[in-house]
Amino acid sequence: MTRFEVRFGRITERLLHQEGPVAVALPRPVVERPMRQRQADISLGLGYSGEDVTAVPEGANMGLGCGNPQAIASLQPGETVLDLGSGGGFDCFLAARAVGDTGHVIGVDMTPEMITKSRGNAEKAGFGNVDFRLGELENLPVADGIVDVIISNCVINLSPEKGKVFNESFRVLKPHGRLAISDVVATAELPDDIKKDMAFHTGCIAGASSIETLDAMLRRAGFVNIQIKPKAESRTFIRDWMPGTKIEDYVVSATIEAEKPLV
C-alpha cells in the first residue's frame, strides 16, 4: 500500500464518520450546528450558492474542499466533464445539471466506499448522465481524448505524484480541453514537522506544492494558458483547519486553470 493510499484511506474513514481534520472551511461556530447544516454552511462559504447546496442528492455534499471549481469551469450543455476525487458526488451532480442530458460526467475516486456512496446517491436521485469509476488519479480509468473539462476540489495536493496526475489529465482531455481546479498551494516552505505529520497530510496541507512547481509540472505535461491564482481571503478559513498552528502562513487556496493545445 502506497503512502497516498494510506493517506487517502484515513481521509475517507474520517469523512464517513465525520470526524477529524479534513480540508474544509469550518468556522468554529459552525461546528456546533447539525451536520447537514454544517455541510451546507461550509459549501456556501466556499462560494457555492444556496441552489447548488439544495440541488444535489442528500449525502452528496460532504462539506469539503477549498473552493468552487464550478465557478471557473464555464460548463456548457453537451460537454463531457471529469471530476478528480469525486467523493460523495457533489461537484459531479452540479456538473451534470450544467451539461444536461446531452452531456456526460465521470467521477473518479480511489476509495470503494466513496464510489459506493456516490453511485447510491446517483441512483436515488435518478442521475443518468453521471458515471462513477474506481481508480487512481495517476492512472485514470478514462479513454484518451474524450473529456472537455476536468474539475477537482482540493484533492490533487494529496498525490505525491502530481506530475503523473497532470500527465493523465492531459491524455484524457480533448484538444482545447481545459482544467478548472480548486486546490491549496504552498506560499512558503513547509517546516519538516508539518511535512511529516499525517494529520497535516489528511488535512490537505502537507502535500501542497508551490505555484512555481505546479506551473512547471503543467508545462511539462503539455498545458498552455496556465493561470494559478491564489486567494488571499482563503487564509481565514484555512486558519480554522488547524487552529493554533499558523498553517495559514504556509498555504492558501488557489484556482488552477490550463488548456490542452489544439495541436
Fold of the domain spanning 3-259: Rossmann fold (3.40.50)
As a whole-number percent, the residues of the chain with pLDDT over 70 amount to: 73
User: Are the CB atoms for 181 and 150 separated by under 8 Å?
Assistant: yes
CA pair distance 176, 149, nearest whole angstrom: 9
Give the predicted TM-score (pTM) of the model. Answer: 0.82
Phi, psi of 136 (to 5 degrees): -100, 145
Question: How far is Cα 152 from Cα 22, in angstroms, rounded to an integer?
Answer: 16
Domain ranges of the chain: 3-259
* pLDDT of the residue at 140: 98
Each residue's pLDDT tens digit, 203-248: 566 678 999 999 999 999 999 999 999 988 888 878 777 778 788 8
* Grid coordinates of 149: 473539462
User: Taking a C-beta distance cutoff of 8 angstroms, is the pair 103, 241 a contact?
Assistant: no
d(CA 52, CA 93): 9
For 83-97, how does the pLDDT look when each residue is reduced to its tens digit (9 = 90+)?
999 999 989 999 999
User: Furthest-apart CA pair in the chain: how many Å?
Assistant: 53
pLDDT, tens digit (0-9, with 9 covering 90-100), for 32-52: 456 556 665 666 556 676 676
pLDDT of residue 152: 96
Q: Torsion over CA of 198, 214, 67 and 246, rounded to 10 degrees?
A: 50
| Predicted confidence (pLDDT) per residue in 141-150, tens digit | 999 999 999 9
